[in-house]
A and B are shown apart, each in its own frame.
Chain A
């Protein structure tokens, strides 16, 4: 009897937590199809807000900018990160500890502080706030995650492969391009995907280093919510949610296939 009660309690508890996690999101999705503008009263199914979204050039431009920035920043983060991970793993050099410390700092430093620090840097360099400042910032905050992922993967690889390649006369560059990079393959892809999501989702760092010449989607949404709740935000949130879901489920299925 006690066993059964316990089971019911744990099930109810889990159910409540999932309800807490999912109901707000579901409400956003449902109301993105609501005809009414102001109230939560259901006035009928409509795609009106999606139509308005498609005709909103500012949002389309911001979305395009976000995707472009995510693509370029995560690509450069993976390129730089693979070089850095190989350096940290394979070479002895002065200041190796400092580099380690900087990678760790980047992981733990609050986004807000990093955003401000970069803003100060761009002010002094000077880099105008816009595409380039965002690109440098995004690449930088993605870097530690790439390095940690790749560094862990490098540790799992067979060291003898590197040694035999060297014995057979491969230069470090050939070793890097023809042995290390192909072996890192899946880890490169997963760290690219992680960087891409980090870049697309970031609000806080971008908030400080973005300029009016290059608007991105999260900041656009932020501005829209601040000025007042509009059903358009429901619609764009639903679209982003849809892509996130596809992404997560897809990644899980791919992993399970392996």
Chain B
């Protein structure tokens, strides 16, 4: 009996030690850092202040936050508009093609997103494939300025994040009972009515999962705006990275991170509400 208690004690201690040091402590520390004062020698020091939050939310940062939210929201909307019909098409594909279609969707998903961001640079640069193709087809005569624009950043984000929207939507739509759609149509519903009354309400949890999986990375994948965006395209991710590693103002960077965590939390609320309540397991 004592031996078994020992195993429980040891494994619990190891688990708690790791989570305490490497998960709980860093999150608490980021909160503390956000209310400390910047210091030249030891990076941060007392006195405690909420100046960093004030600076982040007013000053030059507010427009960047809004701009970042706008870009992320637009990307998410585009992903949804393209991803939704596509996920639906996959669920309706024949048994022979469905596994292939899914696998072809999974492969880019596994490819390093850094490489995919780089591939977009190759496509969009002045001597890139799109410009070459358009000139060859005689549509334009000199290369378009595609790289280092908002358009490029959004293409990069869309390209990187589309599978993250399609996969949860597919998982959700695959569970939809197709006899429901047939029943609606038999009862005389138009296509729009069937979609609005049957398919869409059923897929809300899938939409919410997809939106979370796309929206958050769209704000924080700092290397995509860095590779594809111009000097003006700064997103929250770039801002925090810059504040920490270039300027060295940790409290301000930490304050921006805390705000980012709060945005995450806000996004998660509809997710929790949409999930079916888990049946409480008796321990």
Give residues in A with beta carbon < 8 Å to B.
Answer: 10, 13-14, 17-18, 20-25, 27-28, 31, 38-40, 80, 83-84, 86-87, 91-93, 95, 99, 102-103, 105-106, 108-114, 116-121, 123-124, 136-137, 139-140, 143, 171-173, 176, 197, 200-201, 203-204, 207-208, 218, 221-222, 225-226, 229, 233-234, 237, 240-241, 244-245, 247-248, 252
Contact = CB atoms under 8 A, between A and B. Distances in A.
Interface of B: 3-8, 11-12, 14-16, 18-19, 21-27, 29-30, 33, 43, 82, 85-86, 89, 92, 101, 103-108, 110-123, 125, 127-129, 132, 159, 162-163, 212, 216-217, 219-223, 226-227, 237, 240-241, 244-245, 250, 253-254, 257, 260-261, 264, 268, 283
B220 A110 contact: yes
Given A171-B3, A173-B4, A108 B268 contact: yes
A109 B258 CA distance: 11
Contacts of B6: 173
Contact of B123 (A27, A108, A201): A27
Contacts of A247: 110
A185 to B, nearest CB: 19
Nearest to B106: A248
B118 A120 contact: no
The majority secondary structure among interface residues of chain A is helix
The majority secondary structure among interface residues of chain B is helix
B115 to A, nearest CB: 5
A201 B159 contact: no
13 contacts: A13-B85, A13-B86, A17-B162, A20-B162, A21-B162, A24-B119, A84-B15, A95-B16, A110-B219, A112-B240, A139-B22, A171-B7, A240-B112
Contacts of A91: 8, 12
